[in-house]
Amino acid sequence: MSVLITGIGELVTNDPEREGLLGLVEDAAVVVEGSTVAWVGPAAEAPAADTAYDAGGRAVVPGWVDSHSHLVFAGDRAQEFAARMTGEPYSAGGIRTTVAATRAATDEQLTSHVARLVAEMRAQGTTTIEIKSGYGLSVHDEARSLAVARQFTDETTFLGAHVVPADTTPEEYVELVTGPMLEAAAPHARWIDVFCEDGAFDVDQARTILAAGTDNGLRGRLHANQLTYGGGVRLAAELGLVAVDHCTYLTDDDVSALADSGTIATLLPGVEFSTRHPYVDARRLLDAGVRVALASDCNPGSCFTSSLAFCVALAVRDMGMSPAEAVHAATAMGAAALDRDDVGVLAVGKRADLVLLDAPSYLHLAYRPGVPLVAGVWQGGRPVAPGPVA
Ligand code: NIG
Ligand code: FE
């Protein structure tokens, strides 16, 4: 079954074979065959298909690739947010509040909560999602968090090393994370992550935990330099991790290490919005040759947004990224941060994840912040979100 999507006023392909960072095609069409893209080009040259959909001159972009989220949790911390907005600092210790609520929830409650958040993301154009554990912090609760996440995505990340739970010492907990917890988690996970930060895990502990994950077939990624300067980013670069996330406090040496290693800096501007930490100077990173991705970090503590469009708007307004760089960072670079080449790009053979905007150009994503511009979403060739295409 093939579908011709025609009348696309502006198509963002991210195809490196085409001109410019976004590989824009004007007056474009896309043919979707099953779950993949079968043809991309000027509408006037489009081949016939079984059915046709007219985009009416509106823009189409690749679905967002959100490479960093923590969706498996119960409860919320709205009061903590309110306190921060009136002067309280963000504290990593707040994670323990969500751990208590998550442990008390049933599997069904956790699953339906994740389903609701995934639907919320999809309706806003997110078609690939990474989901971490990290609010269980026991063998049972980490394994079940990942089993819940696996129902929604293959990009699951074991984050048992999120914070040391109240009833144990750091040494005992690292033993648990690298032993029985990892064994129980590994079958449900593709990645392993550590919150490398003052008040969470130090560089040596992160190194040990990532090595254990690698020995068990998982690939490493890291939360680093979110709240303070430290060695986490340099560890990620040294280990050649595909991505290191947050990168809020960076020295020039950290920036050089990222540029030299090719490790992607995944920036999470919703966190800075929601914790009042300074926005990252993405321009400094890009100008130094660092590869930059944007993701939501959707979680109940440091940032409870599921909107990549919001993150793009912040990156453009406050982080020195051009609209094109920001959109690219939340699509093609998000895919790169998950080591995926089948999503984030609209070219022949790629997954047909397309977002129809109720706007003539991708520029409106940052130009019209907070406005729901998603008119329709195709995921793997299927219309999945409300709007004229669903
Ligand atoms: O990515 N930094 C560590 N973990 C999450 C926040 C977790 C929380 O506050 O509940 C983050 O910001
Ligand atoms: Fe995070």
Give residue 386's pLDDT: 75
pLDDT tens profile 333-350: 999 999 999 999 999 999
pTM for this one?
0.98
Report the domain count for the chain. Answer: 2
pLDDT tens profile 30-43: 999 999 999 999 99
Domain with residue 209: its CATH number is 3.20.20.140
Give residue 78's pLDDT: 97
Regarding whether 249 and 179 lie in a shared domain, the answer is yes
Least distant ligand from the CA of 277 = 1
Give residue 390's pLDDT: 61
Q: Does residue 389 surpass a pLDDT of 70?
A: no
pLDDT tens profile 366-385: 999 999 999 999 999 999 98
CA of 183 to the centre of ligand 2 (A): 22
388: confidence class by pLDDT, cuts 50, 70, 90: low
The residue-averaged pLDDT of 167-171 equals 95
| 359 within some domain | yes
Q: For ligand 1, atom 3, which residue shows the shortest CA distance?
A: 195
Percent of the chain with pLDDT over 90: 97
Regarding whether 139 and 252 lie in a shared domain, the answer is yes
User: Of all atoms in ligand 1, which is nearest to the CA of residue 159?
Assistant: 4
Domain with residue 366: its CATH number is 2.30.40.10
Give residue 295's pLDDT: 99
Q: 241 CB under 6 A from ligand 1?
A: no
Mutate to test the pocket of ligand 1, among 67, 72, 95, 280 (most ligand atoms within 8 A of CB): 95
Q: 195 CB under 6 A from ligand 1?
A: yes
87: confidence class by pLDDT, cuts 50, 70, 90: very high
Regarding whether 54 and 79 lie in a shared domain, the answer is no
pLDDT tens profile 202-241: 999 999 999 999 999 999 999 999 999 999 999 999 999 9
| 157 within some domain | yes
Q: For ligand 1, atom 1, which residue shows the shortest CA distance?
A: 297
| 390 within some domain | no
| 389 within some domain | no
CB 212 within 8 A of CB 309: no
Instruction: Determine the structural domain holding residue 83 and report its residue range.
Output: 65-337
Q: 266 CB under 6 A from ligand 1?
A: no
Regarding whether 81 and 52 lie in a shared domain, the answer is no
The residue-averaged pLDDT of 108-115 equals 98
| Mean pLDDT computed over every residue of the chain | 97
| 128 within some domain | yes
Q: Does residue 93 surpass a pLDDT of 90?
A: no
